[in-house]
Amino acid sequence: MSARLTLTTDSREDGSVLLIASGEIDLSNVDAFDSALAGATKNGTVTVDLREVDYLDSGGINALFGYADRIRIRTNPLLMPVLTVSGLTELVDVEQ
């Protein structure tokens, strides 16, 4: 059974792109997350909103690392330890 994940991409009037994820990002759906990141970042930097993500496994972290030069992250306090320990906060602007 795959984990619940919802991905929404929103283009703002100022031209910025926002990728909103909610649910869980794990092995069962990391390919969809990676595809959404690829599509969203094709024309520049994207804000990845993880504030509604309950769980992020190593596959999700690896996907984020793959786009570290093209993303900013919004997150909730629950995910900050994972993002920090992984080293992603050293490469990507992260806001809570």
Cβ proximity of 19 and 39 under 8 Å: no
Structure tokens belonging to residue 25? 């990002």
CB proximity list for 72: less than 8 A, separation 6 or greater: 45, 46, 47, 48, 92, 93, 94, 95
Domains delineated in the chain = 5-95 (3.30.750.24)
- pTM of the entire structure? 0.94
For residue range 55-88, list pLDDT tens digits in order.
Answer: 999 999 999 999 999 999 999 999 999 999 999 9
